[in-house]
Amino acid sequence: MAFVLLCLLGAGWSHARWLEWTATAALVVDMIWPALFTPFAFAWFGLSEVMDALVVEDFVFDKAAQKPWTEEDRRKALGAYGVD
């Protein structure tokens, strides 16, 4: 399905008619014989595990960037919306 999405995005960007036909064929094959995409699924989920490990370590668990809100921070945030 990700391949179909990439084909459709490419077709929308480049107006290449062959990408639309490729997306349609990939959908039909996916409905008829889904086991064909098993090796690609392992590669896709393996890549997502690697990306998850990198992003989570760098951004989510960055304790230096996380600090508790002070009363002044809360007032600034709510004041931007006109709430006291």
Q: What pLDDT score was predicted for residue 34?
A: 86
The tens digit of pLDDT for each residue in 43-84 reads: 888 888 887 777 665 555 555 556 666 778 777 777 767 665
User: Does residue 23 surpass a pLDDT of 90?
Assistant: yes
Share of the chain above pLDDT 90, in %: 27
**Euclidean distance between CA atoms 40 and 47, whole angstroms:** 10
- Give the integer Cα–Cα distance in Å for 18 and 12: 11
DSSP state of 69: P
Q: How far apart are CA 84 and CA 81, in angstroms?
A: 9
DSSP annotation of 83: -
- Which residue bears the tokens 């480049």? 14
